[in-house]
Amino acid sequence: MTITKGETMVVTVDRLDEKGSGESINWRENEFGNPKKLKLTIPQTLPGEKVRVHVDQPERRRRKAMVEEVLEANSERTAPPCPHFEKCGGCVWQHWEYSGQLKQKTNHVKHAVEAQGFNPDLVLDTIGMNQPWRYRNKMEFTFAQDGSLGLHEQGNFRKIISLETCLIAGEEMVEAAMEVAEWVRAHQLRGYNKDLHEGLLRHLMVRQSFVTGEIMLALFATEAPEGPLNDAAKDLVKRIGEKFPQVKSLLWLENTDWADRTQSEKNHILAGRDFIYDEMAGYRFRLWFDTFFQTNPTQAQKLVELAIELGQPKETEKMIDLFCGVGTFSLPFASRVGELAGIEIVESSIESAKRNAEDNGISNTSFLAKDARKGIDQVLESFGNPELLLLDPPRSGAGGKVMRKIGRSKPERVVYVSCNPDTFATDIKELEAFGYQLKVVQPVDLFPHTVHVECVALLETQDS
């Protein structure tokens, strides 16, 4: 069979790619009768399924194909409950029973550690959620050019899917966001055009504490809420104040930068304060619009508990918390060790960590705003070698240089909290040369219906 311009094909899904879409490898004949490999990426399919797909330009080696019909379904396929699932990029696995998602995440971690020579049996089954919906305490919505509010289309950051609901966000958060969307329509405000760099509204950030109930609404715009926008801003304050008394922070944040990020050049507090209070593991935190805080508080609590259980902190010990952020792990551990030093490159996070420690009556901590590699050297010089070290790096991992510095500092126990199994496995490989052994890896699902999985691991020196 020769390849033609655009055709319908029946293929079998061989596996999933790193973004959670199905992959199908097919061998075809080109116009000269020679075998040619065609690799199809097929969103919203599961391993083993036989599907009919339409392929544009199948003469190319890699193509994205859209499902026309599922001919033979995976036994774990289920009906997605969200009306936006087929287009919205917020979730990729709503069509997969939750038990299947968890098995996939466990296997991902096992494969990652095995690829680096570790025993995959050290990886435990992923800890899932009893209720894997409404779990996010923070969402960043985007305005389309016509002012409608939603999330990016799957695989297309140029198109915004207007939303009526979102089943992974807290219900009150969604209701508040929809009220903002109604306010935009009432005043006929325009969204931002990324290509022309014009328009008013860019993003809406909503975050809520599931403990205190406090909500923050942060509107990112290219102009100040003054002049022609003054009446609209006052109306927004009135609408939110009447319907959502739990909104304790209503912000208008100016952002004229070309970069499409939720950042601010000038902050305007329309109502309330510029932060909200949240709690985790019995400790209170102040959260600003740019504060990094775990977005699934239920599972983040489990991460903290697991880290403490594995780390076995003692009152006589010194501890370093690397990539400490605002002190999510620092505060619970500080109450259990003699001294704790936290290191984080983001200065605003370090200021928050200091304030959070003070708010919680914790006085045995010191926090340093420095990059991890240089920060370790500075802390070791003044602090001495720790018995316990915890690190919670970004998705890119800590990197070989940082891991070797950790190895040379000789903590008895290393607790690694990871949001990327692949970089985690590469990082801990560096510690083998310093006599560390991997003892256990516990995956935890913080993002149901997505490919992401977190894990907490313990490494010890052989003579510990």
166 is catalytic: no
Cα–Cα distance between 99 and 111 in angstroms, integer? Answer: 19
Fold of 103-130+294-461: Rossmann fold (3.40.50)
Give yes or no for a contact between 429 and 437, defined as CB atoms under 8 angstroms apart: no
DSSP string, 423-460: HHHHHHHTTGGGTEEEEEEEEE-SSTTSS--EEEEEEE
Cα–Cα distance between 427 and 431 in angstroms, integer? Answer: 8
pLDDT of residue 55: 87
pLDDT of residue 58: 61
Q: Which residues contact 262 (CB under 8 A, 6 or more apart)?
A: 140, 203, 205, 218, 220, 255, 289, 290
Cα–Cα distance between 84 and 361 in angstroms, integer? Answer: 45
What's the CATH class of domain 138-280? mainly beta
Q: How many CB atoms lie within 10 A of CB 23?
A: 18
Cα–Cα distance between 367 and 188 in angstroms, integer? Answer: 47
**Tokens in use for 209?**
């504490």
Q: Which residues contact 341 (CB under 8 A, 6 or more apart)?
A: 318, 319, 320, 321, 365, 366, 367, 368, 379, 383, 386
Domain boundaries, the chain: 7-72, 103-130+294-461, 138-280
Q: Which residues contact 432 (CB under 8 A, 6 or more apart)?
A: none
Supply the CATH classification number for the domain 7-72.
2.40.50.140
Give yes or no for a contact between 347 and 414, defined as CB atoms under 8 angstroms apart: no
* Identity of the amino acid at 6: G
Cα–Cα distance between 93 and 101 in angstroms, integer? Answer: 8
* Helix, strand, or coil (residue 34): coil
**Tokens in use for 268?**
């305007």
What are φ and ψ of residue 238, in 5° steps? -65, -45
pLDDT of residue 327: 96
Do 103-130+294-461 and 138-280 fold alike per CATH?
no
Give, for 388, the enclosing helix (H) or strand (E). strand 388-391
Nearest to 324 by CA among 385, 384, 375: 375
pLDDT, tens digit (0-9, with 9 covering 90-100), for 206-253: 999 999 999 999 999 999 999 999 999 999 999 999 999 999 999 999
Chain position carrying tokens 């932060």: 275
pLDDT of residue 442: 98
Cα–Cα distance between 72 and 85 in angstroms, integer? Answer: 21
pLDDT of residue 3: 45
Give, for 140, the enclosing helix (H) or strand (E). strand 138-143
* Helix, strand, or coil (residue 292): coil
Cα–Cα distance between 298 and 445 in angstroms, integer? Answer: 10
pLDDT of residue 111: 98
Burial of 347 (0-12, 13-18, 19+ CB in 10 A): exposed
pLDDT of residue 136: 97
pLDDT, tens digit (0-9, with 9 covering 90-100), for 419-458: 999 999 999 999 999 999 999 999 999 999 999 999 999 9
Distances 310 to 56, 406, 460 between C-alpha atoms, Å: 51, 18, 10
Cα–Cα distance between 415 and 8 in angstroms, integer? Answer: 50
pLDDT of residue 27: 84
Nearest to 420 by CA among 404, 397, 440, 402: 397
What are φ and ψ of residue 428, in 5° steps? -70, -20
Pairing label, strands 388-391, 318-322: parallel
* Helix, strand, or coil (residue 116): coil
Q: Which of 166, 324, 419, 455 is catalytic?
A: 419
pLDDT, tens digit (0-9, with 9 covering 90-100), for 47-64: 999 999 988 866 677 788
Low-confidence ranges of the chain (pLDDT < 70): 1-5, 30-31, 57-59, 463-464
